[in-house]
Amino acid sequence: MSTIRHLITGFALLAAVAAVATAEEKKAEEKKKDGPHQAVLVKNSAVRQAQLKRSFEQFRTKLGVLANRLEASSDPKDQEKAKAMRAALKEAQERATEMKFESIIRALNTRGADQNLDVLGQAVRENKELRDDLQKLLDLIRRDDRDKVLKERREEALRLLATLKELRDRQARAQSQTELGRKSDKELGKDQKKITGDTKGLRDKLDKPSADTEIAKQMEAVKKPVGEANKEQKSAEGQLGKGDKDSAGESQGRAVAKLNEAIKEIEDLINQTRQEEKERKLKDLLARAKKMLQVEKDVLAGSESLSRDLAKLKGGKPEVTHATRSDKLSEAQLGNLRDCEGALTLIRGEGTAIAFQEIFEQISKDMDTAQRRLSKVEVDAITLVIEGDVVTALEEVVRALDKAIKDNQQPPSPPSPPGPGGEQDDKLVSLLQQLKMVFLMQKRVNDRTALYAKHYQGEQVPKATSEREKQRYEGVAKELKELSSRQERLSKVTKELSTQAQRRQ
């Protein structure tokens, strides 16, 4: 608990330093345009930067001490955290982060800094670099290699499972041939000797130490039944040499049973590993979705307010203040779009949740459309509907991910037997949840189509009477094309989910 407490304290301190650095950057921007109190503000900023520098030095020292402590731990998770901390410390050294504090302090303490735009501009630039440095350090500390460890563990276990199944099947065939008596004792003995040797080779490999303590523990459980199977195989060899096929067949049957025990142990490991992998990915996606949802709600609220103000204009042409507000909303939407792209990368890499990939694709497209409209101060009914759809979609995603996490936390069940197509139920999100997503996406496509039909009568987009109107209609044409593409993709996703459902029957 002490280690975790120190780690959380360190995170909080570095996050606070990064947040204050961002605030200081904004203050420095304001100082360029400030009035009579400018000199006092610059001086106070220099004092604050010095305090931040001391906080960073304390954090760096504590991080080094904590890394030493975690490196001495026998827990692989602690060692992974220590590696992340060492990476952060190295990054801070290579980026000369501490020197950037010094440089900002010197700039702000320069005589006449409050009147020197070049000095203030330099402080702003260095503050931005410092903020980026601190964010990078935070990312490194938060990062761990657990996903990599789990992936390697599962891949190693799958290779072992394939080997065990192959030995089990060969042994079962040898037993069948022994009991049928269609081969001579010599041929049967030769076949059994080969299987016995391969099983011994596998048993010897299991003695090799593994850096992964979890898989090493599981290997201990596997070694016993494999060793016992090998003994039965040797007995079968001797019995075949004496022409006792009945006893040999019984020994071979016991060997098959023992190999099945080993297979069960490995399947349990794969199940547990996959369960942890899924939970980590689901929680990551959920955190991303919740963050995006809050940002999108803020964008929608701001857009609704701006839309009401624009509706009050007599001439209909936005003023500078309206454009500024719309630009800020556009920037917030762009940031949310980047976060959505990050979530999409995670889902694409996972590869088993095609409906969720599609809904994030649609959210991304809608965010892009909303951002383009906001950048042109097109805060009309369609823009508000698009932003509202993003909010609704993210709320659906959050609910579905919450449900998927709860389902995944149930005790692991034995791997379900594959269907005729050989596919096992191993999806990040269940087929039922994905089908629900498809239904909701289809409903939004239908509603959006009706919305465009209501606002733009006829089969073609109206002819523009001005350059601004021309650009607007070009955007609408692009949006309609995307709507058509969305419908086509939904059809493909539905067909693929149907195929997956049939494979499981």
- Mean pLDDT in residue range 290-315: 91
Q: How many residues does the chain have?
A: 505
How many angstroms separate the CA atoms of 363 and 450, rounded?
A: 19
The first and second tokens of residue 342, run together, are 């990050």
User: Is residue 325 within 8 Å of 271, Cβ to Cβ?
Assistant: no
Q: Which residues of 326-360 are buried (b: 16+ CB within 10 A; e: fewer)?
A: beebbebbbebbebbeebbeebeebeebbbbbbbb
- Quote the percentage of the chain above a pLDDT of 70: 75
Sorted by sequence, the CB contacts under 8 Å of residue 364 that are 6+ apart come out as 337, 340, 341, 344
* Residue 498 neighbours by CB under 8 Å, 6+ apart: none
pLDDT of residue 298: 95
**In whole angstroms, how far apart are CA 331 and each of 249, 325, 336, 475?**
74, 10, 9, 19
What is d(CA 216, CA 206) in angstroms, rounded to the nearest whole number? 9
Q: What is the Cα–Cα distance from 198 to 13, expressed in whole angstroms?
A: 57
d(CA 222, CA 254): 16
The residue that leads in pLDDT, 12 or 307, is: 307
Q: Which residue has the tokens 């203040």?
A: 321
DSSP state, residue 419: -
Which alpha helices (H) appear in 181-244, and where do they start and end? 185-205, 213-241
**pLDDT, tens digit, for every residue of 113-172?**
777 777 777 777 777 787 777 777 777 776 656 677 778 888 888 898 999 999 999 999
Mean pLDDT of 453-472: 62
Tens digit of pLDDT for each residue in 16-49? 444 444 444 444 444 444 444 567 777 777 788 8
Nearest to 184 by CA among 245, 101, 231, 99: 245
Integer Cα distance of 199 and 231 in angstroms = 10
Domain boundaries, the chain: 2-144, 148-268, 273-504
pLDDT of residue 429: 61
* 8 A C-beta contact, residue 50 and residue 106: no
pLDDT at 301 over 80: yes
Query: Taking phi first (over 0 means left), then psi (-120 to 50 degrees means alpha), and beta for anything else, what does residue 408 get?
Result: alpha
Are 215 and 268 a contacting pair, CB within 8 Å? no
The C-alpha atoms of residue 307 and residue 34 are separated, in whole angstroms, by: 31
Q: What is the CATH number of domain 148-268?
A: 1.20.120
> What is the pTM for the complete model shown?
0.58
How far is 154 from 162, CA to CA, in rounded Å?
Answer: 12
